[in-house]
Structure 1
Amino acid sequence: MKKILKKVSLFLGLAMLLTACGPASSEGKSADTSKFPEVIENEGDAIDGSTQTLKVALISDSPFKGILHPFLYSDNNDWMLMQNTMAGAFPIDDELKLITNDKTTPINLSFDQKAKTATLEINPDFKWSNGDTVTTDDIIKTYEITANQDFIIASKSPRFNSDLKNVEGIVEYNQKKADKISGLERVSDSKLIIHFKEFTPSILWGGGIISEFSNAKQVEGIPMAKLFESDAIRKKPLSYGPYQITKVVPGESVTYVANEHYIYGAPKVKNLEIKILPVSQTVASIKAGDFDIYLNIGADVYNDLKDLTNIKLAGHQELYMSYMGFKLGKWDSAANKVVVDPNAKMADVNLRQAMGYAIDKDSIGEKFYYGLRGRATGPVVPLYGKLHDESIKGYEYDLDKAKKLLDDAGYKDTDNDGLRENPKGEKLTINVASMSGTELSEPLAQYYLQQFKEIGLDAKLVDGRLLDINNFYDRVEADDPGIDVFFAAFGMASNPDPSSLYGAEAPFNMQRYTSEKLESALKKIASNESLDDKVRLEAYHEFEKALNDEAPMIPMLFSYVYLPVNNRVKQYKFLVSDDGSHWGWNDIELTAEKPLPFEAK
């Protein structure tokens, strides 16, 4: 009962604040993000880590899926289990491009734009956790898995996208017209040349270059349709990162041990455990000193953490955007493309735009995320620099404009019940899918429904409730006909090319929408003409304008991510790009036997 009352109270507070006149003020609660350091330093001498365990919480109300492969995963919880432990083949620079011509990196990468190639030379110290050196066979095998149609269908993999299709011969391999990918030239065990059909700007950020690899020997003989069920993916995948997995409790925890063969040196703390921590327990756990690091922390608890003295908060801008998506078609898995339905319930752009104007995103970010989130003005995040078009203002809160759009488009209340019918005079009910996950999830979802009702739209939650993350994405990806609108988010890759999220051949295009104007802008972005900085800038801005005008989705919030780190961690670097030190979790040292609890003064 207390939990129910808390949620009701939170919703009422949210509704009152967000329906007040104008944007809400911060009342001194907002985070000063400029004060978040990227590097945390704590005093004290490091203790012997050979018997110690680094304790990490992964904050989530949903179990992880357990696809423990750092390229083939599709769930953010799974990625959190691997990002700092099993990945890291290609570091990125401060422009988010792949670092090239550096023999200290795991893969020494070089490009030849004229020849339309990328050359990968494997560092001899880049080894798997069993001591074997990473080879070109491992890289080639990962391409073959990703392009295998049996694997794509069985796993519903979104990885075989337009960037990968730019590799010579990979489409023929996918269609089983060839038994190997002709564009992968194996020069030796340690050298691979990738031949592209066109050398596009996307390649500089990793487009068409598989970023993490499978161990070819470990997956040999496993039927592609069964790969996701195998021990090689689920239980004990080999790793070339700082840690290797020793035990998996499905959906709950993963235990690791140091990879003694890690390229930048074995971890100083031998053992590691990452556990799922329910959202509701976050603040109490941090105060108690249960863990050293808290991944996936919600902005909504910032105010409870900012004054705690047993932790420090690192932070930076995030490659992240939340959005409101509209289901406008289906995914054709046989043809690997989007099929737009002109008769979809949400097909009218005026209806979509009206819903965008109905939500006060500025106040949501300021009041309830303490300034750690702000209104997203377009689909290109500010971290991408000039590619982000500052002239586009997106969908600012404007109820009058929302109502006028609906009026002009013929959405009228014909039976005087306060709710609009569609232009044909038929009852209109919009089914909205929204995820559980934080204390704000339910009140925010109710606020959205309230705002839609404010402009005369009858909107209801799918199944009458919030959906857990796994159920939500399973149904959105499957184009569940019971979903018309969905609220989701994605973390973006360092590659700013939006084709993998909005292209006609992109499985991650969850709206299932494409248009001539949108596809033209995406093709221009991907063309070799956009190797010219001016042309590339024009192409991105054309894309942003097309998406803003056509509104297959409404950008909601950009984000500033922060990370609570317990004071027993001597140093932690929370970086977007490699600062040249190749810092990783192998460098973590501890100054006490246990994480430190908060002691109130």
Structure 2
Amino acid sequence: MKKKWFSKLTVVLSMALMLTACGSGSGEGNGKETASASSIEQEYPARIENEGDTVDGGTLKVAVVSDSGFKGIFNGFLYSDGIDDAFMKYTMDGAFPVDGDFKLIANSDETPINLSFDTEKKTLTYKINPNFKWSNGEQVTTADIAKTYEIVANQDYIIKAQSPRFDDEMKVIEGIEEYNEGKADHISGLEIIDDSNMVIHLKKLTPGLLWGGSFAGEFVNAKQLEGIPMDKITESDALRKNPLSYGPYVIKDIIQGEKVIFEANPHFYKGEPKVKNVEMEILPTSQQVAAIQAGKYDLVYMASADVFPQLEELDNIKIASRQELYMSYMGFKQGKWDSTTNTVVTDPNAKMNDVNLKKAMAYAIDNDTIGEKFYHGLRFNAPSPIAPLFKSLHDPEMTGYKYDMEKANKLLDEGGFKDVDGDGIREDKDGNPLKINFAMMSGGEVAEPLSQYYMQQWKEIGLDVTLVDGRLLELHDFYDRMQVDDPGIDVFMAAFGLASDPNPSGLYGEGAAFNYNRYTSPELQAAIDKLGSEEALDDAKREEFYHEFEKVFFNEAPSIPMQNRVEILPVNNRVKLYDWNQDDSAANFTWADIEFTEAQPVVSSK
């Protein structure tokens, strides 16, 4: 065991040294093609096709890679665990298809619900497609929609379920706060016209509505939950054992925490699925390569990036890829959180509140090469805090911090950070020692050598950067220190999953608790406020405002976007067609369309 562990570590450290050696130049003319999302996606497109005649019957076999089981709350809006969501996303959900920018597809009679907005009246209208039915054959109704809101806004439910769904965005529905506080027995802003039509009255309209903000993304069946107390909802059979479905499949049997068996929903609005049965189960991380190689599964979700090279060698699968809503970033502690006012208070004299220093540290890091060497090309330099996935919002001229050591040194010189005593380490603007404390989380074999690479690169430009406490921090310790603004931390590396709503106010706004940089400014906040304004409901204005935000963010560098990433999906060669594109308007694909060319998943010959 010791020999194997040492061998792996040596390989990883060698990669770190290779990166450091490459890092001493200017980053130009080295002839190395950097990793990019486009190259990965071109080689492994999201749409998979396999030739062969279709065979009838068979069972779709699906795995979700996880070292913990699912919790088993089977409703697409009331779930509390991402693994539960993975089991439902393609089988039971689908009330609101989205376009390429993750906006809800509105004003369409082809979708389950036709959405329309009235900006003057401040209303949102639902018109339910008559073909949108539950798996028992009954139509989805406005009573189901109203019941969903009543559950998530009910205080008894919120306390029992520890639910975060009732948030500020949902509070723009008229009467919902009064209902939550027990001052009303219904939500006055939900106007039910009939079983198929309803109007939601809002206090104000914001662009977040276009992405589903302020309202439920999936629904419950009101009849199934009739008479069940609100504090018993999460324990009910309607969520745990026999939930109805309006997706292509409905649950037939459950092995708690391990496996779910589905059968075709004959009332699915797009037509009954071609494959009649689905078996979906948890697959431990350590077993994923062997199981895929042995042909145990048709689809494997949440496959680990670290096994990507091994998966590439298998001849019984094709790999689909797509950009993920994810961004890692380099943060700087530049103030504190005021819990009395729930606002960020930026310190203009904070050690790291210098734009030249922050940008210099960014230009010293070669994120594309890191993505290639450490993450097998599945990560790439993040050009902006607005993910490139949001094509109509991200400014393509914003390319981020491309590796450039010459520029990094020039910025430090211009900022007044000089090497006063000739020891190769820069002092601060007043000629005093500049020591920067760096926090990074432990985890996996990559974290340690990657942290050493960062510090070596910063040393190359004359910065004295050392790890907080001389070591990597455990995840919970790291975030505990982030939240209390530990004065011993100056710089940190972190990451977050991006929401489908691109508005970044919850990460960079002056009132955002997750703004761990503790940075705000009048210019940045003004740019953020525009993104959530009624004026931004106009497509052209919204694009203009997002481009403006990106420019302000780059100029002030509250934090540094580091990497976006690509997720992968192994698809067995017997699956005739699988389309993993995020854009439902382009793909128009659901699991109901899956067909097989073989009776069982294909086994690898390698």
What is the distance in 1 between the residues matched to 2:238 and 2:485? 31
CA displacement 1:308-333 (0-9 Å, x = unmatched) = 3211223344443333456765696x
What is the distance in 1 between the residues matched to 2:262 and 2:338? 38
Matched, 1:46 2:39: no
Measured after TM superposition, the shift of residue 56 of structure 1 is 1.6
Read off the aligned partner of 2:139 and give its amino acid letter: T
Matched, 1:487 2:491: no
Distance of aligned partners of 1:355 and 1:346 in 2 relative to their CA distance in 1, 3 Å threshold: farther
| 1:339-378 aligned within 5 A | 339-340=343-344, 342=346, 348-350=352-354, 356-378=362-384
Secondary structure class of the residue paired with 1:216: coil
Across the aligned residues of Structure 1 and Structure 2, the Cα RMSD in angstroms comes to 4.3
CA contact (8 A) 1:365 1:373 kept: yes
Measured after TM superposition, the shift of residue 108 of structure 1 is 1.8
Measured after TM superposition, the shift of residue 388 of structure 1 is 1.0
CA displacement 1:86-140 (0-9 Å, x = unmatched) = 2110112345432233323211222223322221112233223344432222222
What is the distance in 1 between the residues matched to 2:35 and 2:338? 44
CA contact (8 A) 2:508 2:520 kept: yes
Distance of aligned partners of 1:508 and 1:586 in 2 relative to their CA distance in 1, 3 Å threshold: farther
Matched, 1:164 2:165: no
Distance of aligned partners of 1:352 and 1:342 in 2 relative to their CA distance in 1, 3 Å threshold: same
CA displacement 1:551-586 (0-9 Å, x = unmatched) = 454322123444221011121112222246742112
CA contact (8 A) 2:346 2:520 kept: no
Measured after TM superposition, the shift of residue 240 of structure 1 is 1.9
Measured after TM superposition, the shift of residue 376 of structure 1 is 0.5
Name the residue aligned to 1:524: 530
Secondary structure class of the residue paired with 1:14: helix
Name the residue aligned to 1:97: 103
| 1:398-547 aligned within 5 A | 429-433=437-441, 440=446, 443-444=449-450, 447-448=453-454, 455-460=463-468, 464=472, 467=475, 485-493=492-500, 495-503=501-509, 515-547=521-553
CA displacement 1:356-408 (0-9 Å, x = unmatched) = 44532121123344444321021112232242123434344456777876996
Runs of 5+ consecutive residues of structure 1 not aligned to the other structure: none
Measured after TM superposition, the shift of residue 17 of structure 1 is 2.4
What is the TM-score normalised by the length of structure 1?
Answer: 0.81
Read off the aligned partner of 1:266 and give its amino acid letter: E
Matched, 1:323 2:329: yes
Measured after TM superposition, the shift of residue 292 of structure 1 is 0.8
Count of paired positions:
588
Matched, 1:206 2:207: no
Distance of aligned partners of 1:536 and 1:27 in 2 relative to their CA distance in 1, 3 Å threshold: closer
What is the distance in 1 between the residues matched to 2:532 and 2:576? 43
Q: Which of 576, 597, 601 does residue 595 from structure 1 map onto?
A: 601
Name the residue aligned to 2:93: 87
Distance of aligned partners of 1:121 and 1:29 in 2 relative to their CA distance in 1, 3 Å threshold: closer
Does 87-96 or 72-81 show the bigger shift? 72-81
Measured after TM superposition, the shift of residue 528 of structure 1 is 2.0
Distance of aligned partners of 1:99 and 1:464 in 2 relative to their CA distance in 1, 3 Å threshold: closer
Read off the aligned partner of 1:383 and give its amino acid letter: L
Measured after TM superposition, the shift of residue 12 of structure 1 is 0.6
| 1:385-404 aligned within 5 A | 385-397=391-403
CA displacement 1:44-72 (0-9 Å, x = unmatched) = 333332xx332222234455555543234
Name the residue aligned to 1:556: 562
What is the distance in 2 between the residues matched to 1:218 and 1:462? 56
What is the distance in 2 between the residues matched to 1:345 and 1:67? 49
Name the residue aligned to 2:42: 34
Read off the aligned partner of 2:465 and give its amino acid letter: L
What is the TM-score normalised by the length of structure 2?
Answer: 0.81
What is the distance in 1 between the residues matched to 2:75 and 2:338? 24
CA displacement 1:295-319 (0-9 Å, x = unmatched) = 1234444433335321122334444
Does 83-92 or 273-282 show the bigger shift? 273-282
Matched, 1:260 2:266: yes
Matched, 1:181 2:187: yes
Does 497-506 or 106-115 show the bigger shift? 497-506
CA contact (8 A) 1:109 1:118 kept: yes
Name the residue aligned to 1:113: 119
Runs of 5+ consecutive residues of structure 2 not aligned to the other structure: none
Name the residue aligned to 2:15: 14
What is the distance in 2 between the residues matched to 1:311 and 1:268? 21
Read off the aligned partner of 1:143 and give its amino acid letter: Y
Matched, 1:142 2:148: yes
Distance of aligned partners of 1:529 and 1:407 in 2 relative to their CA distance in 1, 3 Å threshold: closer
What is the distance in 1 between the residues matched to 2:162 and 2:517? 16
Measured after TM superposition, the shift of residue 525 of structure 1 is 1.4
Read off the aligned partner of 1:489 and give its amino acid letter: F
What is the distance in 1 between the residues matched to 2:481 and 2:150? 27
Does 94-103 or 419-428 show the bigger shift? 419-428
Distance of aligned partners of 1:29 and 1:116 in 2 relative to their CA distance in 1, 3 Å threshold: closer
Q: Which of 216, 223, 228 does residue 222 from structure 2 map onto?
A: 216
What is the distance in 2 between the residues matched to 1:310 and 1:240? 33
Distance of aligned partners of 1:213 and 1:25 in 2 relative to their CA distance in 1, 3 Å threshold: farther
CA displacement 1:396-429 (0-9 Å, x = unmatched) = 4456777876996999999x99999999989875
| 1:275-286 aligned within 5 A | 275-286=281-292
Secondary structure class of the residue paired with 1:19: helix
Measured after TM superposition, the shift of residue 490 of structure 1 is 1.0
CA contact (8 A) 1:268 1:589 kept: yes
What is the distance in 2 between the residues matched to 1:462 and 1:331? 29
Does 238-247 or 186-195 show the bigger shift? 238-247
CA contact (8 A) 1:374 1:558 kept: yes
CA displacement 1:523-562 (0-9 Å, x = unmatched) = 2112222233443223112322343345454322123444
Secondary structure class of the residue paired with 1:384: coil
Name the residue aligned to 1:124: 130
Read off the aligned partner of 1:377 and give its amino acid letter: P
> How much identity, in percent, do the aligned residues show?
49
Largest Rg, 1 or 2: 2
Measured after TM superposition, the shift of residue 179 of structure 1 is 3.8
